[in-house]
Amino acid sequence: MSRRRLDVLAQPHHPAYVVWELTLRCDHACTHCGSRAAVARDVELTTAQALRVVDELAALGAREVVLIGGEAYLHEGFFEIVAALARAGVRPTMTTGGKGITGPLAERMATAGLRLCSVSIDGLRATHDRMRASHGSFDRATAALGHLRAAGIRTAANTNVNRLNRADLEPLYEHLRAQGIVAWQVQLTAPLGRAADRPEMILQPWDLLELVPRIVALKRRAFADGIRLMPGNNLGYFGPEEALLRSPTEDGDDHFAGCQAGRLVMGIESDGAIKGCPSLQTHAYAGRSVAEAPLATIWADDARVGSLRGRTVEDLWGFCRTCAFARTCMGGCTFTAHSILGRPGNNPYCHFRARTLAAAGRRERLVPLQRAPGRPFDHGRFALVEEDLDAPDPGAGLDPAQRVALGTRALPVLPVLPGCDG
Amino acid sequence: MTLMACYGVPYDPDDPTDTDPTGSTEGTAGTATEESTAAAESTGAAESTGTAESTGAAESTGSAESTGAGAADPPAAPR
């Protein structure tokens, strides 16, 4: 049986799946980065502190820890932390941009105990390099996949999908398949962090009408190739192919069963702050730091960390409040909904919703209202305009440079109050 | 359901190192239960396309509630 596929409704809350940002220092400064990574936070956990966290995670029943950044390998204690996780019986994995992964580095990662590593590749060369704001990034990431494989590490890829790169998906799959990946995670670029500054990059909700079927078709091909294409939690929900999209096997019956942030998923920011999910907005969801209190205490008692555990349908609003899947879906991905409308519980990035509206000749369009303040894991705010399905698309026909252009400078800044949902 | 996160790694069910450290047999959980499947089939929700036919999905939710499974009983995923 697997560490990652659980009875999410029957499990008592514990951090089974942990995503840990070791440092915000990064060798990229990507245009869509939710944490606005590049430079380390003012204060980050030391190696000694991080090794204590490893023990605390093991005691809490953590099954898998994904090390991220920034770039996790830029933390001075990276190899020690990987090795400590492996010794503690917590499966260490990693998501990386791959820019600095050489053959020798991959060998050290394998020796430390890393067995699965996912490299973020977001399009073919021109698109990826534009999105990553780094010439040569695509070639470095592709080379990293080769170095990791040569070191005996199973390789996977992550892709953020948006209006800049969506046309690349099918040829990108061919590229990734040729590199020998075993799994591919596809997710939507939500307007979080730097992506919030680029409203022409992100998808409009009706884009899911053509995008989701393409991803489903790719998943069928991937099954035939022995590759597992899995959707990120913010891609779905409940379209005609939900079971195929969400299941790890072709005959599976899985479906989205609600956001597990703070229930079975934990995020750790590099300063030690604990969140229910790595992507959640810091100002609204980050609890205390492990530098201040034991992890078990924070997980059990911190109101922000546990803020999503007791939600009911009464907490939903808008379309999601009346949706037939409300009890099961609970408004889809929390951070994505929050990044669009300023609070969770109503998520326009939904295939079922887009199809329901389209059947009535309607669609929803996101219009930016307020810009993000410019902090890690922040967000702006959008208005949701319902209009005819065939209304003109103001964002159609833009070139790639326009897609990544900063497009919110003229807007007022979203005020951020401590403890406020924005 | 498979636990995923947007900064996470893709799920690889064929990974020989990916085994449950607790030895639990809960791996099939999160899939449609027999109850929900039966409820869905009885309402025809399994044939719902999830759009104009979404009333079938709504019916399946009602059926799920009638089984007493409540939120723990997932509605049928439209096929």
A63, B49: Cβ pair inside 8 Å?
Answer: no
Any B CB within 8 A of A358 CB: yes
The 10s digit of each residue's pLDDT in B31-50 is 333 333 333 333 333 333 33
Nearest to A85 by CA among A59, A51, A115, A109: A51
Q: Which of A229, A240, A252 is nearest to A351 (CA)?
A: A240
Q: Which of A188-192, B21-25, B37-41, B64-68 has the highest mean pLDDT?
A: A188-192
Q: Which of B29, B6, B13, B40 is nearest to A324 (CA)?
A: B40
Taking CB atoms and an 8 Å cutoff, what residues of chain A touch B9? 66, 93-95, 116-118, 156, 158, 183, 185
Q: Is there a contact between B6 and A9 if contact means CB atoms under 8 Å apart?
A: no
pLDDT value of residue A421: 43
Measuring CA to CA, which residue among A61, A63, A78 is closest to residue A21? A78
- Interface check A242 vs B, CB under 8 A: yes
- DSSP H/E element including A284: helix A282-285
State whether A246 and B1 contact (CB < 8 Å).
Answer: yes
Domain locations in chain A as residue ranges: 17-301, 313-403
In chain A (422 residues long), the average pLDDT of successive 10-residue segments reads 83 95 97 98 98 98 97 98 97 97 98 97 98 98 98 98 98 98 98 98 98 98 97 96 96 95 97 98 98 98 96 97 97 98 97 98 97 97 97 96 93 74 41
ipTM of the complex: 0.85
Interface of B with A in 19-38 (CB under 8 A): 19-27, 29-32, 37
pLDDT of residue B15: 84
Q: What are the residue boundaries of the structural domains of chain B, listed by start? A: 34-65
Task: Tell me what pLDDT residue B13 has.
Answer: 86
Q: Tell me, what's the pLDDT at B23?
A: 61
- Whether A116 sits inside 8 A of B27 (CB atoms) is no
Start-to-end Cα distance in chain B: 18
Contact B10 A183 (CB under 8 A): yes
Instruction: Tell me the residue type at A346.
Output: N
Question: Could you say which architecture CATH assigns to the domain A17-301?
Answer: Alpha-Beta Barrel (3.20)
**The two three-digit tokens of residue A148, written as one number:** 């990791």
pLDDT value at position B17?
77
Are residues A348 and A384 in contact, defined by beta-carbon separation less than 8 angstroms? yes
- Helices A103-112/A78-87 angle, 10° precision: 30
Q: How far is it, in rounded angstroms, from Cα B37 to Cα B76?
A: 7
Is B61 a residue whose pLDDT tops 80?
no
> Would you say A121 and A159 are in contact if contact means Cβ atoms under 8 Å apart?
yes
pLDDT at A308: 96
Query: What residues in B contact A68, CB-CB < 8 Å?
Result: 7
The shortest CB-CB distance from B50 to any of A158, A249, A355 is to: A355
Q: Is A17 on the interface with B (CB under 8 A)?
A: yes
CB contact under 8 A, A246 and B12: no
Residue B68 confidence (pLDDT) above 50: no
